């Protein structure tokens, strides 16, 4: 697969867009990178099953960089709930390793795409309905947060996203303000990405048919271009998140997820 100028332009545009969405919605950008990178790789003669897996893994790796840029902007505005980050992070690391080293390598790319679609569609519906939690409902204790973190880390590893598609609705359901939930989700993106990226490298080591400059399932040229561009726009998205009304922010989040869910369902069913 040649690394021609058009490919660089496509990856750069994807990085700029996903960085902005990472800061705006707290989704780490993976929900956008996965589908579009699958499209880019598929159009360059990479087998469909492998293109889906490499897109998911590479999108997750970019989140290590995007989350740092995004969370700095949110932290400067005092929006990150670091107490929640500390509570969920241990489970997130555990769940991420289970997904990326074990489940990810066993499932076919088509099944991963279908799973991506269904779960993201469910998450979008929950956000669109804007169900109000009981006023007395609070975040669970230590054991509950570790369990929730494990689920978030595992599901994120299967779809290559920073966890915002599940952690934001989870926190909002426990009476965390949407702005704080988005900011906290951005902070959770780093441990999610780090744990899963290590797992993708391990599970993809020695695999045949990988394109040049791959490290396990991670496609390094794509990672370099997307990550470089995404860190430029993540702070802009984070700034905009503090200016939008809460109801509009939820609807933007849900609308983006619906579109990406539809594409990945089509990709999975046609593979």
Query: Hey, what are 10's tokens?
Result: 């496509």
- β-strand pairing of 218-219 with 214-215: antiparallel
Distance, first Cα to last Cα, the chain: 21
Closest CA to 27 of 122, 137, 135, 162: 162
DSSP label of 132 = P
Give the tokens for residue 269. 């069913």
The per-residue pLDDT for 81 is 93
Q: What is the pLDDT of residues 99-112, one digit of tens each?
A: 888 888 777 777 87
DSSP assigned state of 100: I
Higher pLDDT, 134 or 187: 187
Band (225; pLDDT cuts 50, 70, 90): very high
Q: For residue 83, what pLDDT is reported? A: 93
Instruction: Return mean pLDDT, the chain.
Output: 81
pLDDT interval class at 150 (50, 70, 90): very high
Instruction: Check pLDDT > 90 for residue 38.
Output: no
* Backbone dihedral angles phi then psi of residue 214, each to the nearest 5 degrees: -105, 145
Predicted pLDDT at 2: 61
CA dist 131 to 169, 175, 256, Å? 10, 11, 19
For residue 63, what is the enclosing H or E element? helix 48-76
CA angle centred on 172, ends 169 and 178, rounded to 5°: 100
Instruction: Name the residue with tokens 């990988």.
Output: 210
Q: Which of 45-54, 69-78, 152-161, 186-195 has the highest mean pLDDT?
A: 186-195
Q: Counting beta carbons within 10 angstroms of the beta carbon of residue 39, is it exposed (0 to 12), middle (13 to 18) or buried (19 or more)?
A: middle
- Residue 107: which H helix or E strand, with range? none
Residues near 172 by Cβ (< 8 Å), separated by ≥ 6? 133, 178, 181
Q: What token pair was written down for 243? A: 């200016």
């Amino acid at each position: 697969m040649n690394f021609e100028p058009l490919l660089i332009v496509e990856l750069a545009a994807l990085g700029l867009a996903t960085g902005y969405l990472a800061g705006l919605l707290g989704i780490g950008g993976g929900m956008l990178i996965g589908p579009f990178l699958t499209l880019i790789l598929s159009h360059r003669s990479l087998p469909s099953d492998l293109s889906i897996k490499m897109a998911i893994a590479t999108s997750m790796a970019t989140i290590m960089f995007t989350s740092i840029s995004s969370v700095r902007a949110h932290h400067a505005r005092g929006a990150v709930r670091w107490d929640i980050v500390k509570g969920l992070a241990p489970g997130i690391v555990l769940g991420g390793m289970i997904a990326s080293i074990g489940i990810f390598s066993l499932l076919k790319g088509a099944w991963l795409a279908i799973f991506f679609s269904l779960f993201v569609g469910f998450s979008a519906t929950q956000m669109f309905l804007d169900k109000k939690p009981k006023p007395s409902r609070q975040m669970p204790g230590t054991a509950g947060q570790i369990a929730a973190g494990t689920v978030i880390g595992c599901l994120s590893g299967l779809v290559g996203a920073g966890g915002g598609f599940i952690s934001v609705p989870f926190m909002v359901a426990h009476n965390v303000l949407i702005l704080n939930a988005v900011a906290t989700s951005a902070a959770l993106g780093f441990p999610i990405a780090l744990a899963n990226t290590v797992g993708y490298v391990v599970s993809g080591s020695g695999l045949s048919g990988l394109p040049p400059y791959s490290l396990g399932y991670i496609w390094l040229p794509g990672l370099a271009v997307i990550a470089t561009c995404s860190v430029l726009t993540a702070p802009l998205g984070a700034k905009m998140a503090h200016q939008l009304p809460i109801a509009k922010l939820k609807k933007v989040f849900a609308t983006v997820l619906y579109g990406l869910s539809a594409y990945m369902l089509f990709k999975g069913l046609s593979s």
